[in-house]
Amino acid sequence: MNKTKLHEGIALIEVSDPLLLTEIENDPVIRPYLGDRISDCCVPVMPHAVAEVQRRLQAMGHLPTRLHCATAEVPKGDQAV
Protein backbone atom coordinates (compact mmCIF):
# COMPACT_ATOMS: atom_id res chain seq x y z
CA MET A 1 0.00 0.00 0.00
CA ASN A 2 1.44 3.39 -1.01
CA LYS A 3 1.16 6.24 1.45
CA THR A 4 1.02 9.88 0.51
CA LYS A 5 3.27 12.26 2.42
CA LEU A 6 2.22 15.87 2.86
CA HIS A 7 4.61 18.36 4.41
CA GLU A 8 3.27 21.77 5.34
CA GLY A 9 5.31 24.88 5.94
CA ILE A 10 8.49 23.68 4.27
CA ALA A 11 10.75 25.98 2.25
CA LEU A 12 12.67 24.54 -0.72
CA ILE A 13 15.24 25.60 -3.25
CA GLU A 14 14.48 23.90 -6.55
CA VAL A 15 16.70 24.31 -9.61
CA SER A 16 16.76 22.79 -13.09
CA ASP A 17 20.50 21.99 -13.03
CA PRO A 18 22.08 19.88 -10.26
CA LEU A 19 25.39 21.71 -10.73
CA LEU A 20 23.69 24.98 -9.82
CA LEU A 21 22.44 23.42 -6.60
CA THR A 22 25.99 22.27 -5.83
CA GLU A 23 27.19 25.86 -6.28
CA ILE A 24 24.48 27.11 -3.92
CA GLU A 25 25.24 24.41 -1.34
CA ASN A 26 28.94 25.34 -1.41
CA ASP A 27 28.26 28.98 -0.53
CA PRO A 28 29.46 29.52 3.07
CA VAL A 29 26.65 31.99 3.83
CA ILE A 30 23.80 29.77 2.59
CA ARG A 31 25.11 26.33 3.63
CA PRO A 32 24.16 26.55 7.35
CA TYR A 33 20.53 27.15 6.38
CA LEU A 34 20.19 24.10 4.11
CA GLY A 35 19.16 20.56 4.89
CA ASP A 36 20.12 17.44 2.97
CA ARG A 37 19.13 17.19 -0.69
CA ILE A 38 15.80 15.52 -1.26
CA SER A 39 16.53 15.11 -4.99
CA ASP A 40 19.27 16.07 -7.45
CA CYS A 41 17.65 19.47 -7.88
CA CYS A 42 15.92 20.20 -4.57
CA VAL A 43 17.07 21.04 -1.04
CA PRO A 44 15.09 22.23 2.01
CA VAL A 45 15.76 25.61 3.60
CA MET A 46 15.20 26.44 7.26
CA PRO A 47 11.93 28.42 7.26
CA HIS A 48 13.33 31.25 9.40
CA ALA A 49 16.18 31.79 6.90
CA VAL A 50 14.20 32.13 3.65
CA ALA A 51 14.61 35.93 3.39
CA GLU A 52 18.36 35.73 4.12
CA VAL A 53 18.85 32.94 1.58
CA GLN A 54 16.87 34.89 -1.01
CA ARG A 55 19.05 37.99 -0.45
CA ARG A 56 22.22 35.92 -0.75
CA LEU A 57 21.05 34.24 -3.95
CA GLN A 58 20.36 37.67 -5.42
CA ALA A 59 23.83 38.85 -4.36
CA MET A 60 25.28 35.82 -6.16
CA GLY A 61 23.52 36.90 -9.36
CA HIS A 62 20.59 34.49 -9.18
CA LEU A 63 17.01 35.63 -9.59
CA PRO A 64 15.05 33.40 -7.22
CA THR A 65 11.29 33.22 -7.57
CA ARG A 66 9.51 32.96 -4.24
CA LEU A 67 6.33 30.93 -4.44
CA HIS A 68 3.64 30.77 -1.81
CA CYS A 69 1.42 27.72 -1.98
CA ALA A 70 -1.99 27.43 -0.41
CA THR A 71 -2.56 24.63 2.05
CA ALA A 72 -3.58 21.55 0.13
CA GLU A 73 -6.27 19.15 1.23
CA VAL A 74 -5.56 15.43 1.23
CA PRO A 75 -8.07 13.69 -1.08
CA LYS A 76 -10.36 11.13 0.54
CA GLY A 77 -8.77 7.73 0.56
CA ASP A 78 -5.22 9.06 0.77
CA GLN A 79 -3.43 9.08 4.07
CA ALA A 80 -0.97 11.72 5.17
CA VAL A 81 1.90 10.37 7.21
Residue 27 lies in a domain: yes
pLDDT given for residue 67 in this prediction: 77
Q: Return the biggest CA–CA distance within the chain.
A: 46
For residue 16, what are the domain limits?
A: 11-59
pLDDT reported for residue 43: 94
Number of domain units in the chain: 1
Using one digit for the tens of pLDDT, what is the confidence trace for 24-73?
999 999 999 999 999 999 999 998 999 999 999 999 998 888 777 655 55
Residue 67 lies in a domain: no
35: in domain: yes
Angle CA(52)–CA(55)–CA(58) in degrees, nearest 5? 150
Considering the domain boundaries, does residue 29 fall inside one?
yes
Is the predicted pLDDT of residue 81 greater than 50, yes or no? no
Q: Are 72 and 6 in contact (CB under 8 A)?
A: yes
3-state secondary structure of 47: helix
